[in-house]
Structure 1
């Protein structure tokens, strides 16, 4: 699957990336785990549909009642239609330059955000609805005024969200201009119990699959496929032993396409089939 460079694919002039940019994204087909290189921090105001994003350390799912502020980086996006035959969200991209200018103007010296995460979930309300309508109005303004109007609207949005979420949001904004130093092991081990493929985990580590495999063997002294399989099967065994689920309930969650393959791998590791645990 090709990597989508965003917002470049939405810009008519890719040589000049604006500091603030609004784009109306619409689609009529589900997209599952598309590879996205997000080159700017971005607000995603979901209007219709569902969205899930896999990050290096975790994942988040939202619906039309929520919006996301996403940190730039390599992410896997899943965007799903709901009851209507269209998916629609309004995207607001902003550069580190305008964010730094805002923080210098409206906040004190930077504090430390203890649990740094690449997203912030925003609960949609009457203000958000009104704000999105105002962005539509801005697009109707002459181009000469567009940049200044958008700058004012960006500042208005951040001030509102700081007022709504307080220091939590302020600290998150400050974390966006800090270089992220995610450890390779931290990324890998956060994906042990996901159903992501090796290629997808490598992408989240910002590596090619071959580079990822070499780095993995250097760190763990075993192939990533074997290591992940053992970790996932061990977790599956623990879940089955708790008695709350059956093999047919969980095989997809651990990266197996069908129950038969899961059962064979499970028996090869533990010497008995998973169905015997739930008997």
Structure 2
């Protein structure tokens, strides 16, 4: 088998990796239902860490920032199937069946779902990935998606207030949000959207709260966090640069030395 296999069609994604751990982060724009076929997935949403083992089901809320580790089992492969529940499909289902959000749900971003024969049946019906990928099966895929949503509501009724909440992010506490999410390497435009602001309002509010330019604050905050992890936790630069929001190790090392006056691997003894 190849070390990596990733098949995408419409709103259904099948992922398969072997031989190595994959880590990274992503912005999730739509609700995603997932089933862990094999291996382990570790999620971190800035507040909480979640671990999903083989055979587990989960739903990740739209507009969520996630860091992840995908861990294959020993001598095995990591595999997962995910189904994207887009807003257009959910709106059409709301009109067809009268599904409504009764109240805004809590701020939980990742939901661990109980195992259920109905959900297992849905997963089994999605396994002929290549067949479902054919253009002639477009209607079948749409029916499968609708069936999945109905089953989710049947097995976890509280998801009604999650899936059918069509409101966009409202203006929230910017200071708390940024202190929780500074480790995510996303654009200022994305941060602005997730805090319910235009980019110009975000920048204005940010400078008023933090008395600093957003880009400069983010870099200093990330580097300070990296310094703490290296000094207090004994971590290495190669272990922390992605965790604190840098894209590559060389840029991280350059910025670290520029801020502190020494390389991450050369923290002076009086700093230890």
TM over 0.5: yes
From 33, 45, 48, the equivalent of 2:38 is: 48
Matched, 1:180 2:161: no
Change (3 A) 1:58 1:155: same
Shift of 1:179: 0.9
Q: Tell me how far apart the structure 1 counterparts of residues 240 and 137 of structure 2 sit (CA, whole Å).
A: 50
Match in the other structure for 1:134: 125
Q: Is the 8 A contact 2:8 2:14 kept in 1?
A: no
Change (3 A) 1:229 1:90: closer
**What are structure 2's unaligned runs of at least 5 residues?**
1-5, 193-199, 242-263
Q: Is the 8 A contact 2:70 2:78 kept in 1?
A: yes
Change (3 A) 1:227 1:75: closer
Structure 1 segments, 4+ long, off by >4 Å, are 56-59, 211-218, 222-234, 255-258, 260-265
Q: Tell me how far apart the structure 1 counterparts of residues 162 and 176 of structure 2 sit (CA, whole Å).
A: 20
Q: Tell me how far apart the structure 1 counterparts of residues 22 and 105 of structure 2 sit (CA, whole Å).
A: 33
Q: Is the 8 A contact 2:38 2:80 kept in 1?
A: yes
SS at match of 2:164: helix
SS at match of 2:169: coil
Match in the other structure for 1:155: 146
**What are structure 1's unaligned runs of at least 5 residues?**
1-6, 12-17, 192-197, 237-246, 268-279
Match in the other structure for 2:104: 113
Q: Tell me how far apart the structure 2 counterparts of residues 263 and 157 of structure 1 sit (CA, whole Å).
A: 58
Q: After superposition, give the CA deviation of every residue in 1:161-219 in whole Å (9 maximum; x if it has no partner).
A: 212222x11111123x221235432322335xxxxxx5x335286359xx999975542
Q: CA RMSD for the aligned pairs?
A: 4.3
Match in the other structure for 2:186: 203
Shift of 1:60: 2.9
Shift of 1:96: 0.9
TM-score of the superposition, structure 1-length normalised?
0.61
Matched, 1:100 2:91: yes
Q: Is the 8 A contact 1:65 1:123 kept in 2?
A: no
SS at match of 1:179: coil
From 116, 129, 132, the equivalent of 1:125 is: 116
SS at match of 1:113: coil
Q: Tell me how far apart the structure 1 counterparts of residues 12 and 134 of structure 2 sit (CA, whole Å).
A: 13
Matched, 1:66 2:49: no
